[in-house]
Structure 1
Amino acid sequence: MHSGSGSIISSRSSFTHTGSPRPARPGQLDPALADSLASDVDPERLSEISHTTAWALLNHVHTTNDPAVVERVLTLVDHEGVDVIAELWSHAEPDSLPGVLWRLYLLRTWMRKQRDSIAHLWRLGEPVATSASAIAGVDPAPTEDDIARIADAILAGAFRGDFAVALERAAAFVTIVSLGLRAQAHQFTQRADSSGVGISLSNADIKQLRTQAAQMLHTAANLTVTAKDFRHGAALWRQGKLE
């Protein structure tokens, strides 16, 4: 088990800090709502339901030839809302099938809603093509449309392709975005430190830059854990132990 995982489940708010002037909060649940979800349901029963629905959904797509069904599953959050998925799967352990699927759906939502910021972060984190680019299937300088396409491709691969490969793609992508956040945080910190040395900034501006840098580093740390969750899930899947 991954006890105490600091992944996107436990840190939804920080998952959205990408340096945007007015960061959106895609896939964001009100903290009070998140805490109260299924509060009146027996935890053992909830766990049973989450695992059953995750396997049923995965098997259904794997056994159907109806493209409409596949499209419906891939865009489940778009049609039903993130709250529905959260109620079923957000409490699942990160090394379980429902826990992994929840992270994949949330990742897709985040990537599509903040594609502009994420494209910028990728270019900062992966300035030249490396193995991560090849694994994730991302060009060194992706556009906003590229990010949206990759978001769909990763989730589609989980349902229609090799599940472990899809998780490894997700892990590689999240890792580079994390590096981009660290690079941008460094830029913000340098700018704050340069105040008075050719750059004139108010105390309020300096404080804001340091606050934003701290938020980015916090998000980067959470994304690093999420990448580890995806890689661990891929290993468990190959061993037939992802349940």
Structure 2
Amino acid sequence: MSEHRRHHRPAPRESAFFDEHAEGADPALLTEAAERAAVLLVRGARASEDAGVSDRLVHLADTEGIEAIAALWSHAAADSLAGCLWRLYLLRSGVYADPAGIARQFEAGRARAEFARVVAGVAEPPGPDELRTMVDEVLRGIAHGDFADVLLRAAAFARVVAAGRAALHEVADADVRRMLVLAEQLEAAGHLELSRGLA
């Protein structure tokens, strides 16, 4: 065998190369951790006897930590606990990002989705503060209420907002459809929770 064709051992890489890859997060483990967090938030919070759990849930939604978990929830199926929490997170984030705009859309949608308006449980008239309060109460319901009720109330709220967006023509049709799809997904998940429980 010629000298230049002889097998050579590969040159060792610097240890930094291995350190960099050893610290990389396994996507499957991240997904599993996000799903476990969702189960703990929903099932664990409801089983807790600590009266402050609901307030901590609302506070958690205001911190950066929940955003990191929520980003992992974004890939979860709509009929899973993680997927439902992602959709609730989106709804709350939208209300806090533009409370006046959402209040205007909710007001415009009330006549078009009367039943949903009642189910949503927003105080009259629905101003920005009332909407923020309602969304926070939905999150508190995760800790102390029936999770199916939480999902159905959120779905009703989203349905009224979608109707208002359609009436006002303030946003693109795609945004109206997205809100309507969100409402439908939350409603379907609420019925699944009632029938067999989400996982």
**Is the shorter-chain TM-score for this pair beyond 0.5, marking a shared fold?**
yes
Q: Which residue of 1 aligns with 2:159?
A: 175
Aligned partners of 1:58 and 1:159 also within 8 Å: yes
Aligned partners of 1:128 and 1:140 also within 8 Å: no
Q: Which residue of 2 aligns with 1:91?
A: 75
Q: Which residue of 2 aligns with 1:120?
A: 104
Q: Which residue of 1 aligns with 2:187?
A: 231
Structure with greater Cα Rg: 2
Letter in 2 for 1:151: V
What are the residue-to-residue correspondences of 1:65-80 with 2, within 5 Å? 65-80=49-64
Letter in 1 for 2:181: V
Aligned partners of 2:103 and 2:128 also within 8 Å: yes
Which of 137, 148, 151 is equivalent to 2:121?
137
Gaps of 5+ in 2: 1-23
Aligned partners of 1:167 and 1:230 also within 8 Å: yes
Aligned partners of 1:178 and 1:223 also within 8 Å: yes
Taking the aligned partners of 2:182 and 2:59, their CA distance within structure 1 comes to 22
Q: Which residue of 2 aligns with 1:194?
A: none
The C-alpha deviation readout for 1:34-85, integer Å capped at 9, x for no partner, is xxxxxx6544433322221111222332222323333112221212355312
Which of 148, 152, 156 is equivalent to 1:164?
148
Q: Percent identity?
A: 35
113-122 or 139-148, which deviates more:
139-148
RCO greater where, 1 or 2, for CA within 8 Å and sep 6 or more? 1
Aligned partners of 2:148 and 2:191 also within 8 Å: yes
Aligned partners of 1:61 and 1:69 also within 8 Å: yes
Q: Structure 1 length normalisation: TM-score? A: 0.66
Structure 1 runs of 4+ with >6 Å offset: none
Q: Which residue of 2 aligns with 1:107?
A: 91
Q: Structure 2 length normalisation: TM-score? A: 0.79
Taking the aligned partners of 1:89 and 1:136, their CA distance within structure 2 comes to 24
Gaps of 5+ in 1: 1-39, 186-212
Shift of the 95–41 alpha-carbon distance from structure 1 to 2, 3 Å rule, reads: farther
